[in-house]
Amino acid sequence: MFSTATDASKIALVHLVARLRLGRFLLLDTQFITAHLARFGTREIPRADYHVILAEAVEASAYFPATPDQATLTAEIAAIYAESRTRDGDF
């Protein structure tokens, strides 16, 4: 992802994850792990486990909230922030 504003891609990722969580998505495949992604709980999993989780995610009922309630979205972003602080201590 490219942007001209500092940390814009990080902010966009947090916003995406919040909306996915609100929509009950089970999986976000990042393809690789970075220090930034690790703050949010990204982990490497064996291929066989991935296929099981992927099958569950495909069958799960999820939706992408086009216009999420702002208060709910803000609360979800705050929860992501709090979780990241317990993993890394620095956001």
Domain boundaries, given as residue ranges, for the chain: 8-88
* pLDDT level of residue 11 (50, 70, 90 thresholds): confident
Position 77 scores a pLDDT of 94
Residue 90 pLDDT > 50: no
Tokens of residue 14, six digits: 């947090």
Contact call for residues 19 and 64 (beta carbons, < 8 A): yes
Mean of all residue pLDDT scores within the chain: 87
Q: Quick one: average pLDDT of 76-84? A: 90
Contact call for residues 80 and 91 (beta carbons, < 8 A): no
pLDDT (tens digit, 9 = 90+) per residue, 33-61?
988 888 777 889 999 999 999 999 999 99
